[in-house]
Structure 1
Amino acid sequence: MSAIGNPSAVLSTRGPVLVVGTGLLGTSLALALTAAGVPVQLSDTSPTSLALARDMGAGQVRDEHSPEPALIVVATPPDVAAGVVLRELDAHPDAVVTDVASVKARIAAEVRRHGGWDARRYVGSHPMAGRERSGAGAADSDLFAGRPWVVIADGATPEAELAVRNLAVDVGATPVRMTAAEHDAAVAAVSHVPQLVSSLLAARLETTPENALGLAGQGLRDTTRIAASDPRLWSAIVVGNAGPVADMLRQLRGDLDRLIDGIAPAAVSPDDPAYTAAGDAATIAPGAVGAITDLMTRGNAGQARIPGKHGGAPRRYAQVQVLVPDSAGSLGRLFSDVGEAGVNIEDFAMEHSPGQSAGLAMLSVMPAAAQGLEEALDARGWRVVVS
C-alpha cells in the first residue's frame, strides 16, 4: 500500500535514505519519503539546490556525523550518474544503490564493468514521472503517484531488487521489471523522441510572424508544451540513449519524406497559372490525399493504443464542452457543479485564446453520463456547447 495520501500505511522502505541530487526527481522523492516518516539525507554538489531542498522539508543535509544510509538514490543527470553510483557503492558498503536516470544501458554497463562484487548492490531504475519544469522548486511529493517505475535488476541480488521495488510502491508508483535495452528502446519511443519532435515544432515558431502566433489555439500549446524543458538535461539524456533515439528518428524521417513527396506537387500558389479553384481536383496531385489519409489513419491507430486512465486499457470518453467566464472562481464553480451532478471527470482540458472573455472547458466523462451532465449544467446556468 502506498504512503501517498495515507498516513497510516505501513512502509517497507527503511531509512535512512540518502538522495544524491536535489533536482526535480530527487527532491520530489525526498519530500514523499519525509512526509511518510522515512528519515532522508540530502547531498548535492550545488549548495543552493541543496539548501532549497532542505528548506522545502525534503530532509537533512548529510554530513560526517550522519548515520549510514540503508538505501541510496542517485538522482543526477545521466552523463554523470554511473560515476556517482560507483562512488556511493564504494563509500557505503552495506547500502543498496539505485539511480533514477532516464537512460539505463550505458549506466548499467559502466557500473558492472567497474563495480566488481559491489555492483550486485546496484539496481538501475527509472520513475516515468516528470514535468517540463526542472529543479527543486518544481518538486512535488505526489509526482510518482500512479506512475510506472521501471526496475532494471540485471545482476543485482534479490534483496537489492526488493528494496528498490518497495521504494517505488511506497511513493505510490507501480514497479515494472525490464532489461536495460528494453527500457532504452521504450523511452526513446514514448519520451525522448516526443521531446525532440515538440522542440522541432516549437523551433519553427522563432521566425513565425506575431500576427500568426496570435491565432494559436490549444493544439499548438499541447504539442509544444514540453518544448519548454531544460536543454542541458535533455542533451545528456539524448546523447546517453543515442542509438534507440536515432533509429526512431530515421523512421520518423521516412514518414516525413513520404508525406512530403505525396503533397509537394499539390503545393501550388494561388498566383501560379496552374492554380484553378480551391477544391478543384485538377489542383490536387495524384497520391496527395492518400498520403495524408494514410498518415492520419496510422496516427489515429497509434493514439488509440496509448493506455487510458491509471494505465488501464484505452477508453473512449464522451466530451462535454462548457464555456467558462474568465473570472475568479468560475472554474472551481464548474467542478463543484459537476460533482453535485454525480459525474466523475475522467480527463480535462481548457482552451483559452488571448483576448477572449471566456474559455472552453472540455470535460471527458463516461459516455453514459454525458447527456445527463449537459442537462444538469444547462440547468445551473452554464453555456454548454453542443458539437
Structure 2
Amino acid sequence: MRSAAVVGTGLIGTSIALALRGRGVTTYLIDVNPEAARTAADLGAGIAGTPRGPVDLAVIAVPPRHVAAALKEHQLQGLAHDFTDAASIKELPQREADQAGCDLTRFVGGHPMGGREQSGPLAARDDLFHGRPWVLTPSVHTRAQTVERAQRLAELCRARPVVMAHAEHDRAVALTSHVPHLVSSLLAGQLLHGDPSQLGLAGQGLQDITRLAAGSADLWTDILGSNAVAVADVLAGFAQDLHQVVDALQGLGTAHEPEQRRVHTDRLTTALVRGIQGRARIPARAPATTLSTAYAAAPRGV
C-alpha cells in the first residue's frame, strides 16, 4: 500500500496515520475540524487535506453513528479505491451504510483494539496498536482486494488481523471493553461522595480501576448506545453478581450466628474466586493470524 487517507484525526485516526507515515505510506488527513487535521500534520502524521486522486485505502476514523455518512460522502467524492473504518461497533455502521446506499463491495469494517483514556490528536502514538488484535468484519458483499488492503493496514500498524462476524465482534467488545468502561465510570462517580480526607488515601489500585473513566463522555455515550443490547446483557449479569455480594456483606454486618456468617462468607469468597478465575482466562498476546486462514473460516455478516 503506497497511499492512504484518514478521515477523522482524533486519537485513533492520528495514531493510524502516524504508524502509516512511519512505514513510508503517503497519508492524507481529513477532518471536519481543519485545526485537528493541521495539528495531526504538525505531529508528522501526514498531509492535511484531500489528495488529488484516489488513494489505495481510506480509513473512516469517526464515532460509530457517523461512519455511514462519512463513508457515503467520501465514496461519492472518489477519495479511495477501498474503504475501512475504525469504529468500536460493527453491526450498526454496516447496517446504516447499506441503508445509505454505500458501495459495500469496497468497504470492510475494522476495529483496531487499542486506545487510551485521553482523546484528540495530541494523545496519539505511532505504537498504539503494536501486538494488538485488529478486527476485520467483511460482509457477504466485500471483495477480496478490499479485505487484503485492510489487512495490510493492520500489519503496517504492527497489529494482528482477526476476522469476525459483525454480531460476534459486538458481543465480544461488550464484554471486554464497553462494560469495563461503564463499570469504571460508575465506580469513579462514587468518588463524588468522598471528602478530601478520604480521597487523600487513594492508592494505585483506585487509579488503575478508574483510569478508563477519564474517556470522552460524548464518545462513550455514542459507543454504548450503539451497542446497547449487548452491553445491557453483560451488565445484567454483572448486576446480579453485585446484588449477591451486597447481600453477603449486609449479612456479615448483621449476622451473629456462626452458621449464618459461614453462608455469607462463602458467598463472598466465591465471588472473589470467580474473579481470580476469570482474570486468568485473559489470553496472552498471540502471534499474528494469517488472513488467508482466518478469512476463509470466518462467518460473513450482512
Normalization by structure 1: what TM-score? Answer: 0.71
Give the superposition deviation at 1:100: 0.2
Partner of 1:249: 235
Helix, strand or coil at the partner of 1:18: strand
Does residue 1:27 correspond to 2:2, yes or no? Answer: no
Question: 2: CA distance between counterparts of 1:139 and 1:201?
Answer: 27
Does residue 1:119 correspond to 2:104, yes or no? Answer: yes
Q: Would you say the 8 A contact 2:55–2:79 is kept in 1?
A: no
Q: 2:5 aligns with which of 15, 18, 24?
A: 18
Q: Would you say the 8 A contact 1:263–1:285 is kept in 2?
A: no
Give the greater-gyration-radius structure (CA).
1
Q: Would you say the 8 A contact 2:53–2:79 is kept in 1?
A: no
Question: 1: CA distance between counterparts of 2:81 and 2:48?
Answer: 18
CA 87–285 in structure 1, closer or farther in 2 if over 3 Å, else same: same
CA 211–94 in structure 1, closer or farther in 2 if over 3 Å, else same: closer
Helix, strand or coil at the partner of 1:311: coil
Identity %: 41
Question: 1: CA distance between counterparts of 2:167 and 2:89?
Answer: 9
Give the superposition deviation at 1:265: 2.3
By relative contact order (CA 8 Å, sep 6+), the higher-ranking structure is 2
Question: 2: CA distance between counterparts of 1:218 and 1:311?
Answer: 28
Q: Would you say the 8 A contact 2:252–2:265 is kept in 1?
A: no
Q: CA RMSD in A?
A: 1.8
Question: 2: CA distance between counterparts of 1:210 and 1:93?
Answer: 53
Q: 2:118 aligns with which of 122, 128, 133?
A: 133
Does residue 1:303 correspond to 2:290, yes or no? Answer: no
Question: 1: CA distance between counterparts of 2:92 and 2:142?
Answer: 16
Question: 2: CA distance between counterparts of 1:222 and 1:161?
Answer: 36
Give the superposition deviation at 1:94: 5.7
Question: 1: CA distance between counterparts of 2:7 and 2:163?
Answer: 23
Q: 2:180 aligns with which of 191, 194, 199?
A: 194
Q: Would you say the 8 A contact 1:263–1:291 is kept in 2?
A: no
Question: 1: CA distance between counterparts of 2:155 and 2:118?
Answer: 24
Partner of 1:45: 32
Structure 1 unmatched runs, 5+ = 1-12, 269-273, 275-279, 313-387
Q: Would you say the 8 A contact 1:89–1:119 is kept in 2?
A: no
Code of the aligned partner of 2:190: R
Helix, strand or coil at the partner of 2:142: coil
Partner of 2:218: 232
Partner of 1:85: 71
Question: 1: CA distance between counterparts of 2:144 and 2:79?
Answer: 17
Normalization by structure 2: what TM-score? Answer: 0.90
Question: 1: CA distance between counterparts of 2:13 and 2:78?
Answer: 19
Partner of 2:299: none
Question: 2: CA distance between counterparts of 1:132 and 1:281?
Answer: 47
Output one character per residue of 1:178-223: Cα deviation in whole Å (capped at 9) or x when no partner: 0110100000000000001111111101111222212222211111
Structure 2 unmatched runs, 5+ = 288-302
Give the superposition deviation at 1:37: 1.2
Q: Would you say the 8 A contact 2:245–2:268 is kept in 1?
A: yes
CA 232–93 in structure 1, closer or farther in 2 if over 3 Å, else same: closer
- Runs in 1 of length 4+ with deviation above 4 angstroms? 280-284
Question: 1: CA distance between counterparts of 2:138 and 2:71?
Answer: 15
Question: 1: CA distance between counterparts of 2:286 and 2:248?
Answer: 36
Question: 2: CA distance between counterparts of 1:311 and 1:246?
Answer: 29
Question: 2: CA distance between counterparts of 1:205 and 1:281?
Answer: 34
Partner of 2:266: 290
